[in-house]
Structure 1
Amino acid sequence: MTNTLDEKEIEQFSKLSNKWWDLSGPFSALHKMSNVRIEFIKQNATRIFKKDKKNVNFLNGINCLDIGCGGGILSEKLKRLGANVTGIDASKSSIEIAQEHAKKSRLEINYKCITTSKLLEIKEQKALNKFDLVIASEVIEHVYDRKTFLSDISNLCRPGGLVVFTTINNSFLGILFGKYFAEDILKILPVGTHEVEKFVSPGNLAIEAEMHGIILDNFTGFSPTFRFKNIIHKEFGNFKLSSNMQINYGAAGIKL
């Protein structure tokens, strides 16, 4: 199996692993984006799984894979919605932070330090069930072999299951805010966190995903609400769902 991840990026995230739950640290944007990410997942789970999103245990009975889970920010929110969550990441130190935080929060989440390719290999060898819901949130922009990564995701998701991506557009504004504003102006992210060559537009992501049996048919923008004080205090503003996908966006659809 091919490793789709960049070892340099794994090392970079490992160095930051003790900052995952620092609300004003380098992962503050992920914390502030959590509510819109969850709302986007809810919208699509409603239409694919016919779930009532008003239910507290909205994802009860859903086997979910959170790829690139890091310190567990999204995994914990998914677990609180009732999902059976497996969170995977190639950074051992990030997984250790995730496990420690879940234990403190009294949440049972199956965390593994493993790549998608290796997980797929194990599942095929043991004939294990595939996932109902596969999420790659703020991950695909760090993958150097997108073709293999999408193939892995497709093979890890059951037919009729839901696949969700959130990422950064390779548009002018996506590059400006996702790369230069975050790294060089606000200096919230270390320089080199993102490589603009790995950013992908909604259209190209849909085309590439379809080649692997994933039909992305729902797209939504995650628009940051920057104010002057955010620049002064070097922090991200909140995010809201919108039709503007020029910076961050979510893409979701069914696995055939």
Structure 2
Amino acid sequence: MSDATTQPRSNTSGGQTIRPDEAAHFGKLAKDWWDPKGSSAMLHRLNPVRLAFLRECVDMHWGGDISQRHPLAGKTALDVGCGAGLLCEPMARLGADVTGVDAAPENTAAAAVHADGAGLDIRYIAGEVGSLDIGTFDLVTAMEVIEHVADKPAFIAALAGRLAPDGLMVLSTPNRTPQSRLLMIGAAEGLGMIPKGTHHWDDFITPEELGALLDDAGLEMGEPRGISFRPDKGLHLSADLSLNYLVTARYR
């Protein structure tokens, strides 16, 4: 059974990265996370793109069979900033033993209810990832999260501390470019496609900046892949990094 009330022992070495106002903003959206036409509609459109990238990276990292239905069988996975479990549930279906961590208790509660309804055994925890004594994981993901944290170096260090020595990390985040300011904030939030106040452009991080943070944490960043939008294709993986991008990281 999924457990949103799990309370692992605290690890005092973890730095504080949660912004209470950000946690409150996303906590208010908890009831709509699983509504593909609700406030998280854009995440539902984005999720297949993220999963395609994730599956490709998992197969490459562990040398799996691309036709295998459960490439994460026998692996542990941690999704940080998991929301109501939009990524956790597919990872569980790919065979992983999944833990989701989120700053908003409302989100982990909604995630646990949904996972139980789907018959998935996923552990959900509300809290600060760097302060939770939850061990290490083969796969660590944080999708659209780093732009919301208070201390980016501390957050990356906390993720690195949860990654097993031969593990794989996958991150996604908006790029800080004029295009992302215009389209992701001006257009998407202005037209109600994304809830207003979700993004703050000054907090977006470039691939170069993210690479430096990962390097400081002892990790090597893979080649970034962009997420682009075209009316005839929708959201899709691309070489264009101007709006949003995904990267892998692993220990050197």
TM-score with structure 2 length normalisation?
A: 0.91
Distance in 1 of aligned mates of 2:15 and 2:210: 20
CA-to-partner distance for each residue in 1:62-117, whole Å, 9 max, x for gaps?
Answer: 11000000010111111111111101101111111100100111111111112111
Distance in 2 of aligned mates of 1:78 and 1:29: 19
Partner of 1:100: 113
Partner of 1:4: 17
Instruction: Indicate conservation of the 8 Å contact 1:163/1:214, yes or no.
Output: no
Amino acid paired to 1:245: L
Matched residue pairs, number?
A: 239
Partner of 2:195: 190
Instruction: Indicate conservation of the 8 Å contact 2:33/2:83, yes or no.
Output: yes
Amino acid paired to 1:54: S
- Residue among 204, 213, 216 paired with 2:209: 204
Partner of 1:250: 246
Partner of 2:219: 214
Instruction: Indicate conservation of the 8 Å contact 1:33/1:238, yes or no.
Output: no
Instruction: Indicate conservation of the 8 Å contact 2:138/2:164, yes or no.
Output: yes
CA-to-partner distance for each residue in 1:133-184, whole Å, 9 max, x for gaps?
Answer: 1000011111120010000011110112111101100011122222221111
Partner of 2:237: 241
Instruction: Indicate conservation of the 8 Å contact 2:144/2:173, yes or no.
Output: yes
Instruction: Indicate conservation of the 8 Å contact 1:76/1:107, yes or no.
Output: yes
Distance in 2 of aligned mates of 1:33 and 1:82: 21
Amino acid paired to 1:191: K
- Residue among 153, 161, 164 paired with 2:167: 161
Amino acid paired to 1:210: D
Partner of 1:179: 185
Pairing 1:71–2:87 present: no
Task: Compare the two structures and name the one with the higher helix fraction.
Answer: 1
Structure 1 unaligned segments of length 5 or more: list them: 228-236
Partner of 1:20: 33
Amino acid paired to 1:65: L
Instruction: Indicate conservation of the 8 Å contact 2:15/2:158, yes or no.
Output: no
Distance in 2 of aligned mates of 1:148 and 1:72: 24
Instruction: Indicate conservation of the 8 Å contact 1:51/1:59, yes or no.
Output: no
Instruction: Indicate conservation of the 8 Å contact 2:214/2:249, yes or no.
Output: no
CA-based RMSD of the aligned residues comes to 1.4
Instruction: Indicate conservation of the 8 Å contact 1:36/1:241, yes or no.
Output: yes
Amino acid paired to 2:172: T
Amino acid paired to 1:82: G
Displacement of 1:218: 2.5
CA-to-partner distance for each residue in 1:201-234, whole Å, 9 max, x for gaps?
Answer: 111111111110111112111112347xxxxxxx
- Residue among 17, 20, 45 paired with 2:58: 45
Instruction: Indicate conservation of the 8 Å contact 1:36/1:239, yes or no.
Output: yes
TM-score with structure 1 length normalisation?
A: 0.89
Distance in 1 of aligned mates of 2:152 and 2:66: 31
